Structure 1
Amino acid sequence: MKTILKLTLFLFCAVSYTQTTISGTVKDDSGQPIPGANVIIVGTTTGTVTDFDGGFTLTTNQNPPFTVQVSSVGFESFSQEITSNSQNIDVILNEGTALDEVVISASRTPERIFESPVTIERYGLKAIKNTASAEFYDGLENLKGVDINTNSLTFKSINTRGFATFANTRFMQRVDGMDNAAPALNFPLGNLLGMVETDVQSVELLPGAASALYGANAFNGILFMTSKNPFDHTGISGYIKGGVTSQEAAGNNEYKDYGIRAAHKFSDKFAAKVNFSYLQGTDWVANDTRGKDRSNTFIKPNSTRENDIDYDGVNVYGDLVSTNLRNVKESPTFLANLPNPALANLIPDVNVSRTGYDEADLTNYDAKSIKADWGLFYRPWENDFEIQYVGKIGSGSTIYQGSNRYSIKNFFLQQHKIEVKNDNFFIRGYVTADNAGDSYDMVFTGVNINRQWKSDDQWFGEYAGAFIQGTLAGLNADQAHAAARQAADTGRFEPGTPEFQRAFETVTNDPDILTGSQLKDESKIYHSDANYNFSHLIDFAEIQVGGSYRKYVLNSFGSIYTDAESEIPYSEVGLYTQIQKKFLEDDRLKVTASLRYDKSELFDAFFSPRLSLGYNIGEDNNHNIRASFQTGFRNPDTQALYIGFNVGPITLIGSAFDNPERFTRTVSGTQISPTGQAILGTDTFTYNGTGAYNNSFTRSSVTAFAASQNPADLQIANPELVNPEQVSSFEVGYRGKIDRVIVDFSAYYNQYQDFITTVDVVNPFYGDVELSQTFPVGGNPTPLAVIALANNDFQAYRAYTNTTEEVNSYGASLGVSTKIFGDYDLGMNYTYAKLDFDRQANSDFQTNFNTPEHKFKATFGNTDLFKNFGFNVAWRWSDNYVWEASFLTADVPAYHVLDAQINFRVPSLKSSFKAGATNLLGDEYFTAAGTGFIGSQYYVSWTINNL
């Protein structure tokens, strides 16, 4: 019995000895608790985070002595030796600077921002919690060099260094290593499949070319968002946010946003988490009724629905359909109501458009975002080796502006990832799939609701007949046109009526663009990548190698791409390596060199090198200067390759080598002129997209010919098929601390080669653009192509190609931050961006630079104005600029915006309360032509247990 008791006592003592528990608190130098601080046993992955009161308890199997390190973003790290079980430690962290924050994305390895080899911006937890923006994602706009173009309330497009539309394929967004782009669109839809705010660990942004490490799409910049690991951040946290949006066009509308995060560490081997958020509000109403020209390149002066018979309103749809009245001479409707055929000569030589519907008639402006994600995390050996499965789904409703305006309804996006990693490597694979849901093209919704009621042939025939009747009755031209429109519009479906609603549902559920407007898509992206860091095996330098593979599977059922017959698959692969080495005394000189090889099955291979030098100066190494040469390349996106999409007066045609011939259409009857039918020998004609590339005129020269009737004005287009685009970027920068002021400066110069663009061309249905084929007209041989143009027997295309013109850009940014009046945070930044390109000499060429030349931003706040109370104010000013896009090119006036928030923390409830407003001054503005004016947003929020 004594032996058993001794053995039991021994085992009890052994178990007790191997279970070491330490506890304590973490506060800042003013005595305020620091929630969410990391407490980690040095040399292991064992750790915890402090609770809302700054307290922590850590249990480990490791026996003392050992060292724990306490760290938090924005503070200097602190280390403490643990010498006994049940030891209690109280830690005071001194506030650090932004230069001490650790980033990963610049070199794919942890390093201080101070020593980053390239320009990088970090948006940490402190900034996220104190942002004056309604959402953390919107707060990115306050970073220097960052533009956010507001498509709608729930769809914001981030860009750096110019060259962007809402279809921003030059900028990449990653969440936990996964590309956030929607497969059908090839660009991210803002934060639709992004992150729930309470799960955000860090956000990093690399402006400029990053292809050397991240591949083809990291051409103009890349955003990295990283979530919290459930091994380190456990518990339940959430937020409730509500308020109103206020806009002159839409009035005041309710806005609500909820989110929850739940994470649990079941053991040192297994942890899991789940996130969910729901946002709903009313979108910014777009009601620009100014008339635009038919090429969408400018606003027509004084053009309104009342005074312009060929009116095409910016946010009015259905008036896209236009014709010259003389084209209706053969219309059966016209002829049937004409008492004397000789009266047809009274028809004027003018263009007339059908009456359209306002955008507000065609969408309910319901803005919605539903996000959920979950993850299972397994550490089989209780160390840094981890296996993850992560799933994400996102659905929502928003407005997207591309070549037309689109109502994105119940769009669905999902991702699934499996990743194996430790501190030295990762291997991951994921799939991204989308479903267009109930989305539709609002422009063609207006067009085809009109056609549901009355065909174009009938409407224009009735208009022409009524015009002649009015003329015979003694009306002047303006009065006759007004009477003709009234007569032709008699019985038109009015919004709100059952007839209109039935037509709306019929059209928006029909994917045939000639009769409907539905967008269908179920495309996918399969992606895998890997990286290995040899720094634990090699002493003389840090060497990394990695690679990636991606496969696209396009499946829009022919509604967007030329995939009516079958899915379109294609793939690309990449390999890279990087070496990083420090030299000289105190490791003052840091050299980073990278090289990447990429190969798409559609194009030749590319090499992308990067070289950067960073040097620390000063006695305390507190000033860093850097210089870098980076290269990037961009494979043409899925739309540039395989789109085949009729947007009304023009058809978008991709230029993958096998794409144009797949775009096949048939025109017949009144779609071909009687002259054309005689030349073709048939009233039915089938053509494909190859004519855009091998038998086309420039659209601008066709416009000039229409005015002059001189064939010498015609210019051959025949653009080359598109190839990858390349950029060479030269950059210099400085980071440092001068007294109490932190300075971050960078300047760059970019040279582009084979710049990807679109050109508008016209392909005649008969005749060659060399004008060698003729036909006798009035006894004179006339080029067939000229006859085709004169009779509107042609197809206009927007073709993707590369320009041989020189395109360059340059710019700089300067950021300064400091503390004033004691503990008040003041930050200011200025960004300059300039396009170096001769616009006047290249009128057919769009660069879509779409960036103001000057931007200035400032923030001012105090996280502890008094105990548990803080505030923050953010102000932004943007210079005027030209927004250049396929939907509309027009001026964006200069604007300034003031956002503000106050917050109050209640430690006993583990809660933070915030009240804020965006665009507090109420000066409505817009960042892109054709979108709704951005009003004000007022909100209050309650966040609980967000560490």
Structure 2
Amino acid sequence: MKIYHFILTLLCCGISMAQTTISGSVKDSKNEPVPAANIKVVGDAAGTVSDGNGKFSLKTNKKPPFTIQVSSIGYATQKVEVASASQNVVVTLESSDNKLDEIVISASRTPERILESPVTIERMGLQDIKKTSSANYYEGLENLKEVHFNTSSMSFKSINTRGFSTIANTRFMQLVDNMDNSSPALNFPLGNLVGISELDIQSVELLPGASSALYGANAFNGILFMNSKSPFTNQGLSFYAKYGQTTQEVAGTNDYWDFGIRAAHAFTKHFALKGNFTFMKAKEWMADDQTDVNGGAIGHTANRNYNGMNVYGDEASTFINNVGQVSRTGYAEKYLTDNNIHAIKADFAAHIKPWADDKEIILQHKIGMGNTIYQGASKYMLKNFIMQQTRAEFKGKNFFVRGYMSTEDAGDSYDMQFAALNINRAAKSDTGWFTDYATMFLQSQIFMGVNATQADALARNWANNNINPTPLPLVANGQPQFQPGTPQFETAYKQVVSDPDLRTGAKFLDNSKLYHADANYNFRDEIKFAEIQIGGSYRKYIMNSQGTIFTDFDGPLKYDEYGAYTQIQKKVMDDRIKLTGSVRYDKSKNFEGQFSPRVSVVYSAGATKSHNFRVSFQTGFRNPTTQDQYIGLNIGAFALIGSAPDNLGRYTETQNVSTAGQLLNGGQATVDLNGYNAYDNAFTSASVAKFRQTGNVADLQKSSLGYIKPEQVKAFEVGYKSSIKGFGVDLNAYYNIYNNFSTTARVYAPYYGNVSTDVATAAQALSNGDARLFQVYSNSVATVNSLGLGAGLSKKVYKNFELGANYNYAQFDFNQDEDPSFISYFNTPKHRVKASLSNTKLFKNFGFNINWRWSEQYKWESSFADGMIPSISVFDAQASYALPALKSVLKVSGTNIGGKDYLQVVGAGRIGQQWLVSWTINP
């Protein structure tokens, strides 16, 4: 209720101390209104934006005469003198055919024209946000050059730039109002689940390359900046409502709802408040791929050890003498989640300007909650999760000091795989099920004379359903398998998803936190020969999963990181050459310190300096994530082990030894394993696969993976930006060299036998099924290289028609012989093409936007499953009509129009079609 009370307070408060109110309108050279133009009083914080009819009203404490500055994307900035408060200010903006004069801050932590950026940068401004043809502006980022999406859920999309990412893109950083909104426990962004409402978003800037020299760890393959509007310059009450339907082959047609409200008011020139609230509700893109993850047909009739892609519980598998490897019957994903998703976001901010200058204090709190699906090593239902961020910042013209805290609560989230495993076990233990299966399989062959295929069908029916079609004297070892929809299944399901003990339940707990502080000072007013900046940051992680994710069963685990940087910029040769040099040092608790330098040169050629060439050398590094270091998670088929030195002994598990293996294990029926087994006494998975084919012990190879350490990248980039006869041209190419590339690998740790000194016994353990599969976190000894290029063109082709197109090429290379077990997780198409056609003023108050994108087939690799992503071609479009009298816009949009359901992530739901009608009121 506090949220609603706060919003009502903002709506009801209309007191203003401004002394002067001016009104006017903004038009273009054809006398057409220019909506969403920025109007600012020069030398004062007062500002506003024009409405859908180009009109504006601006309050300021300044008395005439004074100057206002008017700007809008696609137009040249104009300054107008205001002589009196009664003056009707009419501003005419001249069209500009390119966006290269837009101001960006992220590339150098200082305002500069995008044309002069020392590195590749993409930007989405207010006009781009308004005309997006996607369901929302965040999904519209997929139409930018360099951006590729990995979709885990309709409400959870992960941005991929320059490759090497899964849904959990820990190589990419996302800053929302300068706060890292990565999950404190998982260390990767959660899409826009805790982001910014489309009513409050001011701009989005994307740096697709390495940026560690200024932004530290994890600004490795890209960084996204999402900036919200100030309540001083964007005031009033705004609202949007969207209704539509989604259509997917396996889920059918379902409703989609989304609405939001923003309230902002500057009570005086010193104090302003704003609040935002959004709610989205929809049916998930359902995942229903039942093909075997190991290849082949669907079902146990084709493979006794069947492991369906979106079937869980069949990970319980064992080797039965004279039968082979057999898995239990599982449950399809659709029975383990209702596929209903919703997302709620709210944020509140107080902006205080105590003095007459531009110094500002910002106090902000953000909260995001809801349901979504995350696919990692397993499939997770994030249900009723909550993530919050609280920020305090003091900033001025040349400095900022900020601190923020991120907290999360997993709520009722659970692991679908463990849910299925333990629902099965609630009916019958794994030992009981496999005993029933083996008994019926062997006895049906002996007493009934059936073949192996028939014996398998009889054995599975007996183990699942306790149905014995023979007069054999068999006694079942438990109840029949619970069928979805029955009271027995529902009771077991509710019990399992509320139980955090993964031996009997599926719920995971997470109350992790992150504390961060950073500061920056620019000496441009004190030092004149060059622009010099210094800055630094400190961060503390507190992991608290109560042993359900990390090895924190005896209390929260903590570690910290800190860093400092400096940058110098200098223009020479009549400002035609801009030189930039940066260096940063970072240190994390468990690792050695890292230096990250960056140097760049920008040369502006031509009479108007409109031909801009750039070359840069950058470095980046990525500290191992909290999972890389401290995870200790038994997910059944394998266990995930982090390699922090104090983590290996903390993880323990007990495994049963086969009857044959007990003779080699001193008669012991069980064995205790820990993280040291995974790193110090294990075979590579590739050599085990070969051994199982050949039976030759000499094929087995000891895993030599070491404990994980930070990875580094050296990035070389060249680029060109210009406007040539009305064409906006943006070209770039890069070459990256990765060292200590962080990766995961599967290894087999035998229950007995030393893989170095007693290979024969360890090999026998493999043959007896007495080996544990671990997924470990380490670094590749191979040098990994990647390269790519991008080209973007834009032009106003006829009247207000704007045409855009871009192309990206991405490739990587490494020597497999240097590291046979290396998995790249590149997950990026080699070729991608995107195009757009728009006209915001096709005729009075009417505009449209069309987007098309294509990418070729590529290989997807992840700890969940591998496979091929087919080539896709997607067509999106929107048409909008402004209602100036109501200060609103009506929009109809569609995504994947006329297309088939397509895949972005192996194992996730295919993406269908979406149609929306929206109404936005934004005075």
TM range (shorter): over 0.9
Contact residue 860 and residue 873 of structure 1 kept, 8 A: yes
Which residue is equivalent to 1:234? 235
Which residue is equivalent to 2:56? 56
> How far apart are the structure 2 equivalents of 1:632 and 1:697?
32
> How far apart are the structure 2 equivalents of 1:158 and 1:665?
36
Alignment equivalent of 1:507, drawn from 470, 488, 496:
496
Q: How does 1:341-356 map to 2 (within 5 A)?
A: 348-356=322-330
Alignment equivalent of 2:724, drawn from 729, 738, 745:
738
Alignment equivalent of 1:473, drawn from 427, 443, 448:
448
SS at match of 1:530: strand
Cα deviation, residue 372, structure 1: 0.4
> How far apart are the structure 2 equivalents of 1:286 and 1:499?
24
CA 268–641 in structure 1, closer or farther in 2 if over 3 Å, else same: same
CA 304–683 in structure 1, closer or farther in 2 if over 3 Å, else same: closer
| Root-mean-square deviation over aligned CA pairs | 1.6
Cα distance per residue 1:687-717 (max 9 Å; x no partner): 3111111111112222322333322111011
Which residue is equivalent to 1:207? 208
Cα deviation, residue 39, structure 1: 2.4
Contact residue 205 and residue 224 of structure 1 kept, 8 A: yes
Cα deviation, residue 509, structure 1: 1.4
Which residue is equivalent to 1:332? none
Cα deviation, residue 740, structure 1: 1.6
Cα distance per residue 1:354-390 (max 9 Å; x no partner): 1111110111111111100000111111431111110
Structure 2, unmatched stretches of 5+, are 1-17, 466-479
**Higher deviation after alignment, 842-851 or 200-209:** 842-851
Alignment equivalent of 1:714, drawn from 700, 717, 724:
700
> How far apart are the structure 2 equivalents of 1:227 and 1:728?
32
> How far apart are the structure 2 equivalents of 1:675 and 1:134?
58
Which residue is equivalent to 1:558? 547
> How far apart are the structure 1 equivalents of 2:207 and 2:337?
36
> How far apart are the structure 2 equivalents of 1:224 and 1:680?
60
> How far apart are the structure 1 equivalents of 2:893 and 2:300?
40
> How far apart are the structure 2 equivalents of 1:485 and 1:63?
86
The question of 1:216 aligning with 2:214 is answered: no
Contact residue 420 and residue 428 of structure 1 kept, 8 A: yes
Instruction: Give the total of aligned pairs.
Output: 890
Which residue is equivalent to 2:616? 628
The question of 1:828 aligning with 2:823 is answered: no
SS at match of 1:604: strand
> How far apart are the structure 2 equivalents of 1:427 and 1:92?
39
CA 480–867 in structure 1, closer or farther in 2 if over 3 Å, else same: same
Cα deviation, residue 843, structure 1: 4.0
Contact residue 693 and residue 718 of structure 1 kept, 8 A: yes
Instruction: Kindly provide the amino acid, as one letter, of the partner of residue 478 in structure 1.
Output: T
Structure 1, unmatched stretches of 5+, are 1-17, 294-299, 327-347, 773-781
Instruction: Kindly provide the amino acid, as one letter, of the partner of residue 894 in structure 1.
Output: S
CA 840–129 in structure 1, closer or farther in 2 if over 3 Å, else same: farther
> How far apart are the structure 1 equivalents of 2:178 and 2:663?
57
The question of 1:313 aligning with 2:271 is answered: no
Alignment equivalent of 2:462, drawn from 458, 476, 487:
487
Cα deviation, residue 24, structure 1: 2.1
Contact residue 540 and residue 561 of structure 2 kept, 8 A: yes
Alignment equivalent of 2:507, drawn from 485, 499, 518:
518
Alignment equivalent of 2:427, drawn from 453, 458, 464:
453
Which residue is equivalent to 1:891? 868
> How far apart are the structure 1 equivalents of 2:165 and 2:19?
57
Contact residue 210 and residue 219 of structure 2 kept, 8 A: yes
Cα distance per residue 1:146-198 (max 9 Å; x no partner): 10111110000001000000110000001000001011111111110001110
> How far apart are the structure 2 equivalents of 1:484 and 1:672?
21
Which residue is equivalent to 1:775? none
Alignment equivalent of 2:565, drawn from 576, 581, 590:
576
The question of 1:40 aligning with 2:17 is answered: no
Instruction: Kindly provide the amino acid, as one letter, of the partner of residue 278 in structure 1.
Output: F
Cα distance per residue 1:474-511 (max 9 Å; x no partner): 21211111111111111221000000011111111122
Instruction: Kindly provide the amino acid, as one letter, of the partner of residue 454 in structure 1.
Output: K
**Higher deviation after alignment, 703-712 or 798-807:** 703-712
Cα deviation, residue 40, structure 1: 2.3
Instruction: Kindly provide the amino acid, as one letter, of the partner of residue 706 in structure 2.
Output: E
Which residue is equivalent to 2:131? 130
CA 452–60 in structure 1, closer or farther in 2 if over 3 Å, else same: closer
TM-score by length of 1: 0.92
Cα distance per residue 1:631-679 (max 9 Å; x no partner): 0011011111111111222111011121111112233xx4554533763
Alignment equivalent of 1:377, drawn from 334, 337, 351:
351
> How far apart are the structure 2 equivalents of 1:673 and 1:169?
43
CA 677–644 in structure 1, closer or farther in 2 if over 3 Å, else same: farther
Contact residue 657 and residue 751 of structure 2 kept, 8 A: no
| Identical pairs, percent | 52
**Higher deviation after alignment, 462-471 or 529-538:** 462-471
Which residue is equivalent to 2:665? 679
Which residue is equivalent to 1:816? 793
CA 877–840 in structure 1, closer or farther in 2 if over 3 Å, else same: farther
TM-score by length of 2: 0.94
CA 539–46 in structure 1, closer or farther in 2 if over 3 Å, else same: farther
The question of 1:765 aligning with 2:747 is answered: no
SS at match of 2:842: strand
Which residue is equivalent to 2:377? 403
Cα deviation, residue 684, structure 1: 4.0
CA 754–515 in structure 1, closer or farther in 2 if over 3 Å, else same: same
Instruction: Kindly provide the amino acid, as one letter, of the partner of residue 726 in structure 1.
Output: Q
Contact residue 561 and residue 587 of structure 2 kept, 8 A: yes
Q: How does 1:780-795 map to 2 (within 5 A)?
A: 783-795=760-772
Contact residue 695 and residue 718 of structure 1 kept, 8 A: no
Which residue is equivalent to 2:524? 535
Contact residue 510 and residue 516 of structure 1 kept, 8 A: yes
Which residue is equivalent to 1:865? 842
SS at match of 1:548: strand
The question of 1:938 aligning with 2:912 is answered: no
> How far apart are the structure 2 equivalents of 1:140 and 1:908?
31
Which residue is equivalent to 2:472? none
SS at match of 1:702: helix
Contact residue 319 and residue 769 of structure 2 kept, 8 A: no
Which residue is equivalent to 1:428? 402
Question: Stretches of 4+ moved more than 6 A in 1?
Answer: none
Instruction: Kindly provide the amino acid, as one letter, of the partner of residue 739 in structure 2.
Output: Q
Q: How does 1:136-147 map to 2 (within 5 A)?
A: 136-147=137-148
Instruction: Kindly provide the amino acid, as one letter, of the partner of residue 922 in structure 1.
Output: G
Q: How does 1:872-887 map to 2 (within 5 A)?
A: 872-887=849-864
> How far apart are the structure 1 equivalents of 2:415 and 2:422?
11
Which residue is equivalent to 1:151? 152
Which residue is equivalent to 2:6? none
Instruction: Kindly provide the amino acid, as one letter, of the partner of residue 140 in structure 1.
Output: L
SS at match of 1:757: strand
Contact residue 21 and residue 87 of structure 1 kept, 8 A: no
Alignment equivalent of 1:612, drawn from 586, 600, 612:
600
Cα deviation, residue 423, structure 1: 1.6
Contact residue 22 and residue 88 of structure 1 kept, 8 A: yes
> How far apart are the structure 2 equivalents of 1:281 and 1:66?
50
Task: Give the number of the structure whose alpha-carbon radius of gyration is greater.
Answer: 1
Which residue is equivalent to 2:815? 838
Which residue is equivalent to 1:170? 171
> How far apart are the structure 2 equivalents of 1:54 and 1:366?
41
SS at match of 2:119: coil
Q: How does 1:263-412 map to 2 (within 5 A)?
A: 263-293=264-294, 300-326=295-321, 348-412=322-386
Contact residue 409 and residue 509 of structure 2 kept, 8 A: yes
SS at match of 1:266: strand
Contact residue 677 and residue 683 of structure 1 kept, 8 A: no
Contact residue 692 and residue 718 of structure 1 kept, 8 A: no
